[in-house]
C-alpha cells in the first residue's frame, strides 16, 4: 500500500464558490476532455462534493462517476458497483488513482452517464491493481477483476479525458458515430441558449477551479 498520506485541510478557501450548482454534464462538454491534475490536499469541501456526487450517481442509476463528469477538474472518482444507495460499504472513493499490473483481456458492454442510453463493447484488462487515496487521505491498494476492474478503468480514463467510445474498435465506433454527433449538436444548442458558456470560457473556469485542491 501507499506509504504516503495526503494532508487534510479544515480551512475553507474562498476562491471557489461551493454553492456551485452540480450536475452530470454530457458529451461534449469540454470537462469530459480535460486531463485533470492530481489533488494535493483534501478538505471538507471535497467531502461535501463527493457526498453530492454519490447522490447524483444513484439518481442517474450509475455505478461510477468521475469528477470530470460534474465539470470538476479533479483527479478522483467514486464507485458503488452494486448501484444500491443503501449499501454504504460498497461506496469507494479513489483519489489520484494509479492503475498497475494489468492482466488478461476481456470485452464487455459499457455505458456512461455522460452519454445516456449509448452502449458499446470495450476491450479492457481483466485484472488490475489500483493504488489511490481515500477521503481520509490514506493510501490504499486494491486488486480487482471482472466488473469492478472495468469500472475503475473506465473512471480512470475519464480523469485523462478519455471516453469509452475512444476505446472501441473502429467498426463498432462507426456504428455509434451518429449518436455522438447528436450529443454534440444538443450540447452546441444548449450553448447557444446560454445554458453553457463557450469552450474558452469553460476551459478558463476549469483552470481556476483546478487551483482549489492544487
Ligand atoms: Zn463514464
**pTM recorded for the entire structure:** 0.91
Report the relative pairing of strands 41-43 and 7-9 from DSSP bridges. Answer: parallel
Banded pLDDT at 9 (limits 50, 70, 90): low
Q: What is the 3-class SS of the chain, one letter each residue?
A: CCCCECEEECCCCCCCCCCCCCCCCCCCCHHHHCCCECCCEEEHHHHHHHHHHHHHHHHCCCCEEEHHHHCCCECEEEECCCCCCCCHHHCEEEEEEEEEEEECCEEEEEEECCEEEEEEEEEECCEEEEEEECCCCEEEEEEEEHHHHHHHHHHHHHHCCCCHHHHCCHHHHHHHHHHHHHHHHHHHHHHHCCCCCCHHHHHHHHHHHHHHHC
Measured in angstroms, how far is the CA atom of residue 11 from the centroid of ligand 1? 32
Measured in angstroms, how far is the CA atom of residue 114 from the centroid of ligand 1? 6
Q: CB 30: neighbour CB atoms within 10 A?
A: 21
Q: State the average pLDDT over residues 101-122.
A: 97
Banded pLDDT at 176 (limits 50, 70, 90): very high
State the catalytic residue, choosing from 91, 107, 109, 155: 155
Cβ–Cβ under 8 Å, residues 5 and 39: no
Measured in angstroms, how far is the CA atom of residue 10 from the centroid of ligand 1? 31
Measured in angstroms, how far is the CA atom of residue 53 from the centroid of ligand 1? 13
Cell 455505458 -> residue? 111
Residues 6+ apart with CB under 8 A from 117: 111
Answer yes or no: is pLDDT of 21 > 60.
Answer: yes
Answer yes or no: is pLDDT of 186 > 50.
Answer: yes
Measured in angstroms, how far is the CA atom of residue 78 from the centroid of ligand 1? 11
Separation CA 64–CA 61 (nearest Å):
9
Question: pLDDT for 41-94, tens place per residue?
Answer: 888 889 999 999 999 999 999 999 999 999 999 999 999 999 999 999 999 999
Average pLDDT, the chain: 91
Question: What pLDDT was estimated at residue 212?
Answer: 76
Residue 44's closest CA among 21, 74, 11? 11
The proportion of the chain whose per-residue pLDDT surpasses 90, expressed as a percent, equals 84
Banded pLDDT at 125 (limits 50, 70, 90): very high
Please say if 155 is a catalytic residue: yes
Measured in angstroms, how far is the CA atom of residue 87 from the centroid of ligand 1? 21
Amino acid at each position: 500500500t501507499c506509504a504516503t498520506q495526503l494532508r487534510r485541510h479544515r480551512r475553507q478557501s474562498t476562491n471557489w464558490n461551493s454553492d456551485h450548482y452540480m450536475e452530470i454534464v454530457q458529451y461534449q462538454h469540454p470537462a469530459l476532455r480535460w486531463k485533470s491534475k492530481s489533488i494535493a490536499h483534501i478538505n471538507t469541501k471535497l467531502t461535501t462534493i463527493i457526498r453530492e456526487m454519490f447522490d447524483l450517481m444513484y439518481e442517474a442509476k450509475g455505478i461510477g462517476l468521475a469528477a470530470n463528469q460534474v465539470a470538476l477538474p479533479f483527479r478522483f472518482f467514486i464507485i458503488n458497483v452494486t448501484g444500491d444507495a443503501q449499501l454504504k460499504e460498497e461506496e469507494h472513493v479513489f483519489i489520484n488513482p494509479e492503475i498497475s499490473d494489468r492482466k488478461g483481456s476481456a470485452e464487455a458492454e459499457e455505458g456512461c452517464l455522460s452519454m445516456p442510453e449509448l452502449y458499446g463493447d470495450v476491450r479492457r484488462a481483466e485484472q488490475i491493481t489500483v493504488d489511490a487515496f481515500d477521503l481520509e487521505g490514506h493510501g490504499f491498494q486494491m486488486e480487482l477483476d471482472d466488473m469492478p476492474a472495468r469500472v475503475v478503468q473506465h473512471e480512470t480514463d475519464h480523469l485523462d479525458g478519455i471516453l469509452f467510445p475512444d476505446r472501441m474498435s473502429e467498426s463498432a465506433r462507426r456504428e455509434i458515430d451518429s449518436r455522438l454527433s447528436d450529443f454534440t449538436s444538443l450540447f452546441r444548442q444548449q450553448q447557444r441558449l446560454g445554458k453553457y458558456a463557450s469552450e474558452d470560457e469553460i476551459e478558463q473556469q476549469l483552470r481556476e477551479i483546478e487551483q482549489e485542491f492544487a
